[in-house]
């Protein structure tokens, strides 16, 4: 890429960033599930940091200071820089806008990098950003929903796609990129991570023959999987432990218990095949470009070229995933075979993998055509960019801005969204109590006085209590809470019980009056996760920098010699 091409690409990307984000400053971020939910995550993480309660995945301020353990299930890793900015004085609203703008920019960079590494065609790189960001779905993520979870996923997934395709091409050094980006996606957006796991499995299965011939490819996948499990243990182990502790509110079903993915799919006009949803999701222009690009490759190769794995396998995955968007009958079959599909809530989420693959196919085809168009290159490229800009402004951005024009701007920044990860028993108890379960109400109903209630602890005093009684304490129950009894000069600590989704405890048989202190401490499983992740990180760093192996070690090739294993790991 020449210097002139780099400057031109930078200019186009800068204009694209402005075009994609400027309406935010006119219409603003509107209320809804996602902005309130994610702003609450930033706000409570900032509050935890300010109070010195770190690391703690429980947001103290949620639910009138009952605490909400969203951090167990929705990683905070990428929120820390923005929480620190908020801590230094940037308003929560502006912090959220900054997050959106930065990650829109990272989306442009990611898709440019992907196309560059796969095709080395400057014209394909030039148009890849506008193609990626012109999808109706992508624009709705920014404006209609302001969903930074999926926006972050869109910035990470191109790197995963690149590493997968490079590995199956024999460039096994990309195993590093694969486990790092999969780990980042895991702690950014769980549902996108599950979708990408399905994509990775498809790529793996489509290349089994290649791996049989080249064992290095298989071992690259295996090493990447081990490294991912090791580096992600700090998040994965507490996630599994907390998820297995109790049942949580399911947002995959409606109030009548119907699977939402099927409820939404039932809106299709033709239950066997109705492409309307796929077209409306990405826009007619992008779908037309996809069809044109597939036709171009078939015409160019006199049929499907199965040797071009990137294009062929991208098209196959697009067809497989898109079929679940256009056929309710097929989706019902898939749900029967693999019930966890309902966790996606709505199948349009599959666009987090469909869109980058569509961009690869379209950008590659149009890039090849532009490269061969002689003196008309710049004119045709300019015309294409203008058409993309007009379609983006006139249709998806305009329609989204109209959709949100009448929605209120007041965002409740302690939102728990649709109740994901909220203990089911607590919701039932809250309903029975007319949604009046607060520390103050618990203080009255349980006959104690709250002495302190902060990020670090809640302490209550009982003047007269019946020994052996089970009482509810003002904290939502998650594994890790400890209860300490202080009475008659004694101090007794035990693990918390759970009742009605709250921390509960049974008073000792000799307890009549005294204080009860509730604190959160990392569980043994969480500590194990930290240890595994730290050891994995150290080993990976040592392998990456290739530390000198002590040649003077006498039994250097011994099975039990650790330096032998470091050498093997480096290879």
- Mean pLDDT, all residues of the chain: 88
Average pLDDT over residues 94-103: 94
Q: What is the DSSP string of 365-397?
A: HHHHHHHTSGGGHHHHHHHHHHHHHHHHIIIII
pLDDT band at 90 (very low <50, low <70, confident <90, very high): very high
How many angstroms from the chain centroid is the CA of residue 21?
A: 21
Please identify which residue in the block is written with the tokens 């780990």: 183
- Report the range of poorest mean pLDDT among 71-80, 239-248, 490-499, 551-560: 551-560
Percent residues over pLDDT 90 in the chain: 61
**From CA 89, how far away is CA 131, in angstroms rounded?**
36
What confidence score (pLDDT) does residue 442 get? 94
pLDDT at 552 over 50: no
- Report the range of poorest mean pLDDT among 11-15, 52-56, 105-109, 428-432: 52-56
What confidence score (pLDDT) does residue 566 get? 46
Q: What is the pLDDT of residues 402-458, one digit of tens each?
A: 776 666 666 777 777 777 788 999 999 999 999 889 999 999 999 999 999 999 999
pLDDT at 30 over 80: no
**From CA 554, how far away is CA 65, in angstroms rounded?**
61
pLDDT band at 568 (very low <50, low <70, confident <90, very high): low
Q: What is the pLDDT of residues 181-237, one digit of tens each?
A: 999 999 999 999 999 999 999 999 999 998 888 899 999 999 999 999 999 999 999
pLDDT at 255 over 50: yes
pLDDT at 106 over 90: yes
Among 151, 183, 129, 125, residue whose Cα is nearest residue 24? 151
Q: What six digits make up the tokens of 184? A: 């980042």
Cα-only R_g, the chain:
27
Average pLDDT over residues 385-402: 76
What confidence score (pLDDT) does residue 450 get? 95
What confidence score (pLDDT) does residue 117 get? 95
Residue 114 phi, psi dihedral angles, 5° rounding: -60, -50
pLDDT at 396 over 80: no
What confidence score (pLDDT) does residue 301 get? 78
With residue 504 as reference, give the H or E element that holds it.
strand 502-506
Give the highest mean pLDDT range of 13-22, 134-143, 480-489, 541-550. 480-489
Stronger pLDDT, 37 or 102, i.e. the higher one: 102
Report the C-alpha dihedral over residues 155, 157, 160, 161, rounded to 10 degrees: -120
pLDDT band at 266 (very low <50, low <70, confident <90, very high): confident
pLDDT band at 305 (very low <50, low <70, confident <90, very high): low
Stronger pLDDT, 560 or 307, i.e. the higher one: 307
pLDDT at 391 over 90: no
SS3 502: strand
DSSP H helical ranges for 72-146: 80-87, 92-119, 122-133, 136-142
SS3 101: helix
**From CA 140, how far away is CA 16, in angstroms rounded?**
16
pLDDT at 565 over 50: no
CB neighbour class for 395 (10 Å; exposed up to 12, middle 13-18, buried from 19): middle
Positive or negative torsion for Cα 222, 224, 226, 228: negative
Q: In what order do the strands lie in the sheet with 502-506?
A: 470-476, 502-506, 497-499
Percent residues over pLDDT 70 in the chain: 92
CB atoms under 10 Å from CB of 166, counted, come to: 20
Beta bridge partners, 503, equal: 498
* The model's pTM: 0.90
Q: In what order do the strands lie in the sheet with 490-495?
A: 449-453, 457-462, 514-520, 481-487, 490-495
What confidence score (pLDDT) does residue 549 get? 43
What confidence score (pLDDT) does residue 528 get? 96
Report the C-alpha dihedral over residues 93, 96, 101, 106, rounded to 10 degrees: 170
DSSP state of 516: E
Whole-angstrom CA distances from 360 to 151, 308, 376, 442, 555 are 18, 13, 23, 56, 51
Is the separation of the CB atoms in 460 and 516 below 8 Å? yes
What confidence score (pLDDT) does residue 551 get? 44
**From CA 68, how far away is CA 79, in angstroms rounded?**
17
Q: What is the DSSP string of 509-551?
A: TT-SSEEEEEEE---HHHHHHHHHHHHHHHHHHHHHHTPPP-T
pLDDT at 72 over 60: yes
Residue 245 phi, psi dihedral angles, 5° rounding: -70, -40
Average pLDDT over residues 80-93: 94
Whole-angstrom CA distances from 288 to 126, 153, 193, 292 are 19, 25, 28, 6
Residue 490 phi, psi dihedral angles, 5° rounding: -105, 155
What confidence score (pLDDT) does residue 406 get? 66
Average pLDDT over residues 233-262: 90
pLDDT at 520 over 70: yes
**From CA 296, how far away is CA 488, in angstroms rounded?**
84
**From CA 311, how far away is CA 301, in angstroms rounded?**
12
What confidence score (pLDDT) does residue 150 get? 94
Q: What is the DSSP string of 434-489?
A: TT---HHHHHHHTT-EEEEESSSEEEEEESS--TT-EEEEEEE--TTEEEEEEETT
Pairing, β 481-487 against β 490-495: antiparallel
């Amino acid at each position: 890429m020449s210097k002139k091409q780099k400057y031109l690409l930078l200019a186009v990307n800068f204009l694209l960033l402005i075009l994609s984000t400027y309406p935010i400053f006119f219409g603003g971020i509107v209320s809804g599930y996602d902005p309130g939910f994610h702003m609450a995550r930033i706000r409570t993480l900032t509050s935890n940091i300010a109070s010195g309660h770190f690391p703690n995945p429980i947001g103290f301020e949620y639910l009138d200071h009952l605490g909400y353990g969203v951090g167990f299930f929705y990683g905070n890793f990428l929120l820390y820089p923005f929480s620190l900015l908020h801590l230094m004085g940037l308003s929560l609203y502006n912090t959220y806008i900054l997050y959106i703008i930065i990650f829109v920019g990272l989306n442009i960079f990611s898709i440019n990098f992907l196309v560059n590494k796969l095709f080395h065609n400057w014209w394909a790189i030039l148009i890849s950003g506008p193609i990626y960001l012109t999808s109706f779905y992508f624009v709705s993520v920014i404006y209609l929903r302001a969903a930074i979870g999926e926006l972050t996923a869109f910035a990470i997934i191109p790197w995963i796609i690149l590493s997968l395709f490079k590995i199956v091409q024999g460039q096994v050094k990309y195993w590093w990129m694969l486990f790092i980006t999969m780990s980042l996606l895991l702690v950014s957006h769980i549902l996108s991570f599950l979708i990408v796991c399905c994509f990775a499995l498809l790529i793996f299965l489509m290349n089994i023959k290649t791996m049989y011939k080249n064992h290095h490819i298989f071992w690259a996948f295996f090493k990447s999987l081990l490294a991912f499990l090791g580096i992600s243990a700090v998040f994965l182990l507490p996630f599994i432990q907390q998820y297995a502790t109790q049942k949580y509110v399911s947002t995959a079903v409606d109030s009548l218990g119907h699977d939402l993915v099927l409820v939404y799919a039932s809106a299709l006009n033709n239950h066997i095949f109705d492409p309307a949803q796929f077209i409306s999701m990405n826009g007619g222009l992008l779908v037309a470009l996809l069809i044109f690009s597939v036709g171009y490759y078939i015409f160019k190769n006199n049929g499907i070229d199965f040797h071009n794995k990137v294009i062929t396998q991208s098209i196959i995955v697009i067809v497989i995933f898109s079929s679940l968007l256009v056929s309710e009958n097929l989706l019902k079959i898939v749900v029967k075979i693999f019930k966890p599909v309902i966790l996606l809530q709505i199948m349009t989420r599959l666009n987090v993998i469909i869109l980058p693959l569509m961009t690869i196919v379209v950008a590659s085809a149009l890039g090849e055509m532009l490269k061969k168009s002689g003196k008309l290159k710049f004119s045709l490229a300019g015309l294409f960019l203008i058409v993309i800009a007009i379609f983006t402004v006139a249709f998806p951005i305009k329609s989204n801005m109209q959709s949100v024009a009448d929605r209120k701007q007041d965002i409740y920044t302690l939102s728990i969204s649709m109740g994901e990860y909220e203990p089911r028993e607590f919701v039932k108890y809250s309903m029975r109590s007319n949604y009046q379960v607060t520390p103050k109400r618990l203080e009255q109903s349980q006959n104690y006085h709250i002495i302190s209630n902060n990020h670090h602890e809640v302490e209550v005093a009982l003047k007269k209590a019946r020994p052996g009684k089970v009482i509810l304490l003002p904290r939502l129950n998650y594994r890790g809470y400890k209860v300490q009894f202080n009475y008659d000069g004694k101090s007794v600590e035990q693990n918390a019980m759970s009742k009605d989704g709250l921390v509960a405890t049974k008073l000792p048989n000799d307890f009549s009056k005294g204080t009860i202190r509730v604190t959160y401490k990392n569980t043994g499983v969480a500590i194990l996760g930290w240890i595994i992740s730290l050891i994995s990180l150290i080993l990976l760093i040592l392998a990456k920098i290739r530390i000198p192996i002590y040649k003077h070690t006498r039994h250097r090739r011994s099975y039990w010699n650790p330096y032998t294993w470091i050498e093997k790991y480096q290879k």
